[in-house]
Structure 1
Amino acid sequence: MKRWIWIGLVALSLGLTLFGLLRPRAEQGLAVTVAQAERGEFVREVRATGVVEARVYTLTFSRPGRVAEVRVKEGQTVEAGQVLAVLETTGEQAQLRSIREALRALQSRAQAAEADYQSNRTRLQNQLLEVRRNLRVSVELLRVGGVARSEVERLERQVADLEAQLASLGQARTSTQRDLQAQLQTRQTELATLERTIAQSSLRAPVRGTLSSVGYLVGVETTAQSAGAALGAPSIRLVEAGSLRVQARLSEADVPWVRPGQPVRLELDAAPGQPLVGKVDRLGVQAEVAGTGGSAVLPVFIRFLDEKAESLARPGLTATARITTLRLPSALKVPLETLVEEGGQTYLWVVDSATRTVRKQAVTVIARNLTQAAVEGIPDQSILVSLPPEALKEGARVSYRLSGPEARP
């Protein structure tokens, strides 16, 4: 009995196997890779690399001296006009006091001389008036024989003598004034020179900014330096606030898409994972060739808008800029590999999920980026053939696998 049971089981198994091999199979179709059209924000970016730059002031003392104070340190933010370092001015301050005392003494002398002149002039003028009055009376009396001619002559001599004294007094006053004025001018020149020297002993920030280096040390002698200080000479370097920017190199193929004011996402090689916000400030006026036989590149200047750029960005650092040249809030997006270009027209192979057949659909391409295109002419969520094979024909049956709720075998 068991033997017949085993024979039956074996026969059933062979029958089932033979049926599976011989039964007619449904046509599976051409195997293809598919993608799905999705609606969402479409962004087109242009990428460029560049270097951070800024307006940097190299500050030095304009006169020699010994450093008395350094009031700042590297990395500190300073305001315009703030004192950064000071030279010793002990000797100059002593000279300044001495010259000011000399000026006060000269001014006192000038005031005293003027007061003395006015007093003597008034006295002589009063005497002259009195003598002239007496002379007029004597002349009248001489006509009637009331006085002798000698008296008239004496009074005339007194008038002439007093007039001469007044003239001499005026000349002496002019000479004294000229001498005192010369001395005052000399002292005032010395005073102005010393005040200028003392003012030059304070090194001040010309603008608001951040100190990138402080090269002065207290007690060290320094020589006068011009604005372009010699290499290695002590100085204080100040990066002007708000002047940080990136000068990037833009491929000539990307130039038509870039305009001033476009938003930029910046990332410093020295601070990966900390993107900064910026905007296109302006484009350069002259392109240059990138390397021997290379394509042309155009400088594009990008201004930082992020406050934290002041703490992260440093002149000379390398940065990558992603310039947003187009942003569509709601666009139908398809992968670039689904597009087919024929005869100046763009097509997509659209899959009918119910029949698993394809049709060729003309579409309008609104914009492209590196991976996607924004199109019009097909419904949302359309299933599209990616990298369509040449053997694909209108109405052909296909097999595919799509991830997500629309997946089909």
Structure 2
Amino acid sequence: MRKLLIGSSILACLVVLGGWLNRPQPLPVRLLDVERGPVETLVANTRAGTLKSCRRSHLSFNVGGQVAELLIGEGQRVQQGQVLMRLRQDEQQARLQEAEARLEAQRNAREQRCQQAHLDQRDLNRLRHLADRKLVAADRLDQAETKANLAKLMCSASAVLIREADASLQLQRSLLDQATLRAPFAGIVAEINGELGEFVTPSPPGIPTPPAVDLIDDSCLYVEAPIDEVDAARVRPGTAVRISLDAFRGQHFAGRVSRIAPYVRDLEKQARTVDVEVRFDQPPADLALLTGYSADVEILLEQRANALRIPTETLLEGQHVLRYDPSARVLREVTVKTGLSNWRWTEVLGGLDEGTRIVASLDQEGLKDTVAVIPEDAAEPEQ
């Protein structure tokens, strides 16, 4: 009997020792503290936006001709009204001189006719004095009146001919000016399509052709970006925006919504979007911003400067988080009340206190309520 009791005791000890050796080991987990910081509700673009210029003109001639003068180069800065390119103008210059000579001839002819009308009127006045004294025949007086009236009409008609000649001169000047391409605003020359001596033709109606000069006003830039149609109703002109450019990663620029498109864009195989335009509050003076840069915008709908927050990725479905219980060294699933939220941070309105430690990542398998864990910063290093 004594041997039996000793054997049973040994067996029980072995069972207990085996259970202890085979117990589940605590999972090492990475924890973080619930802290305070800024939280924002954002609306972001659904596709990459584009940096654009407020003014960009594709300049072309509306008459055909041979390029006689090319006065600029690509990348050159020009001033408003500066001549960029001229077509051959010798024929048009001759037409202009012809119109100027015709106008001068009409002015001289008018002067002659009006002087003649003045002379005929003076002769008529003298004959009328003589007719009052019965010294001139009536038919002669009638002839003088008719001649004076005709001269007066010819003088008046000369003014009409002068206006006609002047209009013809203005037309020739306009045609000559159309052979000269000027900058409508100050900017930088982006592209030139045409070389000295080449023949250029105007674009036929409805058929786009490359412009003679592509001029960009880079002093005023904005970002055009699409947002989802469901977010458009929450965005207003003047709303603060954070702008980021792929060319300058890690940098953000402040801006504001300047325009919201009055219609929804419906593109095939893409979600319906609304285009918004965003202006820089202060364009960066130390960076060369090029039109066409891809850009992203974050429209700031609401902000909290010092909110209790947790990373959004730590939230389980149903607004739950896994809180670390240091007394039992296990995880506790707790429900939290949330406020503002974005893809990175979520505001906590209740359920957690500042400094409480929660699981930092939910990617690890086996994490659930009451599971035993050990914080990674407390785990013993491997031997």
TM-score range, shorter chain: 0.7 to 0.9
CA positional deviation for 1:248:
3.4
- Residue equivalent to 2:184: 206
Where do residues 249-398 of structure 1 align in structure 2 (5 Å cutoff)? 249-251=226-228, 258-260=235-237, 261-268=239-246, 277-280=254-257, 281-282=259-260, 285-286=263-264, 288=266, 291=269, 296-305=271-280, 307=283, 311-315=288-292, 318-336=294-312, 338-340=314-316, 346-353=319-326, 356=329, 361-377=334-350, 378-385=352-359, 387=362, 389-392=367-370, 398=372
CA RMSD in angstroms, aligned pairs only: 4.0
> What does residue 176 of structure 1 align with?
154
Which digits, 9 at most, give the CA deviation of each residue in 1:22-45, with x for residues without a partner?
Answer: xx99x9995462321121222454
Under a length normalisation based on structure 1, what TM-score does the superposition of the two structures give?
0.68
The one-letter code of the counterpart of 1:332 is: L
Q: Which of the numbers 36, 41, 45 marks the counterpart of 1:39? A: 36
1:109 matched to 2:84: no
Question: 8 Å contact 2:69–2:85 — kept in the other structure?
Answer: yes
Distance 1:263 1:197 in 2: 48
1:248 maps to what in 2?
A: 225
3-state SS of the aligned residue for 2:354? coil
Task: Note the residue ranges of structure 1 that are not aligned, 5 or more in a row.
Answer: 1-20, 136-154
Q: Deviations over 1:296-353 (max 9, x none)?
A: 33133232416359943334x54444444443211222234544555xxx44444454
Residue of structure 1 in register with 2:48 after alignment = 50
For residues 103 and 323 of structure 1, the distance between their equivalents in structure 2, rounded to whole angstroms, comes to: 64
Given that 2:131 and 2:141 are in contact with CA atoms closer than 8 Å, whether structure 1 keeps it comes out as no
Give the 5 Å matches for 1:206-245: 206-225=184-203, 230-232=208-210, 235-241=212-218, 244-245=221-222
Runs of 4+ in 1 over 6 A off after TM superposition: none
Amino acid at match of 1:380: E
| Equivalent position amino acid for 2:83 in 1 | V
Could you say which structure has the larger radius of gyration? 1
Which segments of 5 or more consecutive residues in structure 2 lack a partner in the other structure?
A: 1-16
The alpha-carbon distance between structure 1 residues 352 and 252, as it changes in their structure 2 partners (threshold 3 A), is same
Deviations 1:166-210 (A, max 9, x none): 223224304633664564344223312211112222222334444
Change (3 A) 1:185 1:372: closer
Q: Which AA in structure 2 matches 1:62? A: N
Q: Give the deviation of 1:399 after TM superposition.
A: 4.3
Amino acid of the structure 2 residue aligned with 1:367: L
- Structure 2 vs 1, CA of residues 186 and 322 (structure 1 numbering), >3 Å: closer, same or farther? closer
| Alignment partner, residue 159 of structure 1 | 137
Deviation at 1:259, TM superposition (A): 4.8
Report if the CA contact (8 A) 2:103-2:165 is conserved.
yes
Q: Distance in 2 between matches of 1:341 and 1:61?
A: 64
C-alpha contact 2:309 2:348 (8 A) present in aligned 1: yes
What's the counterpart of residue 121 of structure 2?
A: 121
Q: Taking structure 1 as reference, are residues 175 and 39 closer, same or farther at Cα in structure 2, changes over 3 Å only?
A: closer
Relative to structure 1, is the Cα distance of residues 385 and 180 closer, same or farther in structure 2, using a 3 angstrom cutoff?
A: closer
Query: Quick check: 1:56–1:239 contact (8 Å CA) kept in 2?
Result: yes
Which amino acid in the other structure matches residue 311 of structure 2?
P
**CA–CA separation in structure 2 for the residues paired with 1:98 and 1:369:** 74
Q: Distance in 2 between matches of 1:381 and 1:56?
A: 54
Whichever residue aligns with residue 60 of structure 2, its letter is T
Distance 2:176 2:353 in 1: 80
Q: Which amino acid aligns with 2:105?
A: A
Amino acid at match of 1:401: P
Query: Is the 8 Å Cα contact of residues 265 and 278 (structure 1) preserved in structure 2?
Result: yes
Which residue of structure 2 aligns with residue 187 of structure 1? 165
Q: Distance in 2 between matches of 1:114 and 1:99?
A: 22
CA distance in 1, matches of 2:310, 2:251: 30
Q: Deviations over 1:57-88 (max 9, x none)?
A: 32111223332323333234444444322233
Percentage of pairs with the same residue: 22
